[in-house]
Structure 1
Amino acid sequence: MADKSDLAEVIKNIQADVTTIVKGEIELAKAELVPQAKAAGVGAGLFGAAAYVALSGAALLFSGLAFWLSVGFQAWFHLDLLPALAWGFAVMAVLFFVAAGVLALIGKSRLTFSPPEATVANAEASVAAVKSAVAKGKADVDALSLTGRRPEPELEAASPWSRPGSSS
């Protein structure tokens, strides 16, 4: 009966150790990834704010420039008012798209991530430690007798013809 409780205790210890290792790995991953997530959030927020402000200002500026170009198209190409307005606003729309593309490229370059190297290295070390512990445990189990009890050191060293406690 004592052997079954010993085995149950070993299994409980293994479960507790694995739980501790997994919790430690999760905490390490959190500690490594949270600052990156915060930086990405701030970068994305700033990117969004910059885009909104730039588009609002650009809308006002480009509207004024579109009207100014429309007056120019009327004078330079002798267009009526409606075609001149269409060309003026089309030119400004193209400039809008170019500015949006530049802002998007700048924002994309700011959103770079690196893998959690310390977490991966620690996880690999933990796996190696668990593998070596399993190999040691297997070797210990292989060393057990058929009854599941560890051989007693004094009986192993004694001669098979002598009894413990008797003098030879």
Structure 2
Amino acid sequence: MAIETPSRVNHAAEPSVAELVRRASDDLSRLVRDELQLAKLELAHKGKEAGLGAGLLGGGAGFAFFGVAALVTTAILGLATVLAPWLSALIVAVALFVIAAVLALVGRSRLRKSVPPVPEEALASAKADINKIKGSMHR
């Protein structure tokens, strides 16, 4: 009676290392393709939602514009009860132009601070990292 030793066990049923690597590569490729497909579907859905949201936001801004116009008209008509209508309209128009000028000046100031759009902190951090790496290489 012969006893099977580990060296005599039939390994023909087990896949080879090359076959396992090929299977793993195929599985990884399929996984990446599936994940990319899922990402495409998710982005398409989010894009539709963002488009709808932007449209609704634009609609709301349009109605807000007309609401402000109605308030301006109300201010003109309210002043017209004590002043001439043309003078009421002139006073409200000048007030609106003053508000517009102040907003434009503040906006221009903020815009100048943000230009050029360079991530200065990130660049400084990257330069510091590069200098640190260079310093450690020269030791």
Superposition TM-score tier, normalisation by shorter sequence: 0.3 to 0.5
Structure of higher RCO (CA pairs closer than 8 Å, 6+ residues apart): 1
TM-score, length of structure 2 as denominator length: 0.41
Larger radius of gyration between Structure 1 and Structure 2: 1
